[in-house]
Structure 1
Amino acid sequence: MEKPYTGGCACGAIRYSIEGEPLFSNHCQCRDCQRESGSGHGSYATFARAGVTLTGDARHWDMVADNGKVKTRGFCTQCGVAVYMTFAAQPDVFTIRAASLDEPARYRPQAVTFAARGHEWDPLDPGLVKFDGMPPG
C-alpha cells in the first residue's frame, strides 16, 4: 500500500490523510483561483473522496464556477488558510491545495486549466498540457 498523502492548514487545526493517488493534478489560472491564492494560479490535486479522512473545523465558502455549478472552498477558522475544495456536481471527489501537503514535493501537475486567463508574469511549465478552460470529460 502506498503512503497516504497528508497535510493541512498552517496552524494544524485542519488535517487530512488521503489514501490513493491523485485522479488529476493541475495548476488553475481562473480568476477565482488567482484571487484566492494572491498569485497567478492555484495548484491542486484531486482525489477520490472515499480515501479521505478529514479532521478539524473548517469554514466553507460556496461560489459559482464558470460552468454555473457550485464549488465549495474549505478554510481554517483559526489561521484562514484555504485547504480544500469540493464540488456539488462531483460529490465523489475531494481537491486539496498542493501547498497544504506535508510533502509538497509529491505534487506532480499534469495540466494547466484556464490557461487563457494566465498572465505573462506567471509563467508555468511549458511542457504541461494547457486547456483554455476545464478539460473535457
Structure 2
Amino acid sequence: MSKIHHGQCACGAVRIRASGNSVAELHCQCRQCQLRSGTGHSSFMVFAGPGAVKVDGKTTSWSVTGDSGIEKHQAFCPECGTPTHVTFPANPGITAINPVLLDERDQFAPRIVTYASRALAWDVLDPALTRFDEMPTG
C-alpha cells in the first residue's frame, strides 16, 4: 500500500499531500537553500511521478538558477511566508517538499547532504550522513 503524507504551512492556507515513498531525503547546503531557509541548509523530501504531490491553496513562487545551473521554482504561502515546495521545469515530475510541513515530520530520515562544499562552519549536520560536494548525478 502506498504511503500518504499530509501537511500544511504555518497558517494552514496551503495544504500538501504527497503519495508514495520519497525518492530522496536530504539536506542541501547550496547558497540558494541557505538564503531560502535563513540558515545553513534546507531539508527536503523528494517525490517523483505525475501527481505524486498535490498542493491545495494558493502559493506564490519565484524562479532561480541553482548552484547546479538548473532552474527551480521555489513556492511559498503568500499569507504566512512558509516555504512549501520546489519544482524543476526541466524535470516536471520531481517535487521537493519541506518535511517540517508534514504531520509526521519526525519521520524525516535524511541520508545525504548536497553541496557540502558550501557548508557554513556553524551549521553542523550529522557526520554519519553521506556528503556530496556538489549535486550528485544519476
Give the structure-2-normalised TM-score: 0.94
1:69 corresponds to: 70
Structure 1 counterpart of 2:7, which letter?
G
1:114 positional shift: 0.3
Matched letter for residue 117 of structure 1 = R
* SS of 1:105 mapped into structure 2: helix
Q: Which amino acid counterpart does residue 58 of structure 1 have in structure 2?
A: T
Indicate the residue corresponding to 2:131 in structure 1: 130
Q: 2:39 maps to which residue?
A: 39
The residue matched to 1:90 in structure 2 has which SS? coil
Match of 1:26?
26
Report the 3-state secondary structure (helix = DSSP H, G, I; strand = E; otherwise coil) of the residue aligned with 2:93: strand
**Gap regions ≥5 residues in structure 2:** none
65-74 vs 35-44, greater mean Cα deviation: 65-74
Matched residues, number:
137
| Distance in 2 of aligned mates of 1:99 and 1:49 | 22
Q: Specify the alignment match of 2:86 in structure 1.
A: 85
Residue deviations 1:93-127, cap 9 Å, x none? 11101211121112110100000010121111111
In structure 1, distance between residues paired with 2:45 and 2:90: 17
State the superposition RMSD in angstroms. 1.1
Equivalents in 2 of 1:99, 1:29: separation in Å? 17
Deviation at 1:12, TM superposition (A): 0.7
The 2-side partners of 1:62 and 1:9 are apart by 20
Partner of 1:98: 99
- For 2:58 and 2:68, how far apart are their aligned partners in 1? 29
Is residue 68–residue 135 contact of structure 2 (8 Å, CA) maintained in 1?
no
Where do residues 50-65 of structure 1 align in structure 2 (5 Å cutoff)?
50=50, 51-65=52-66
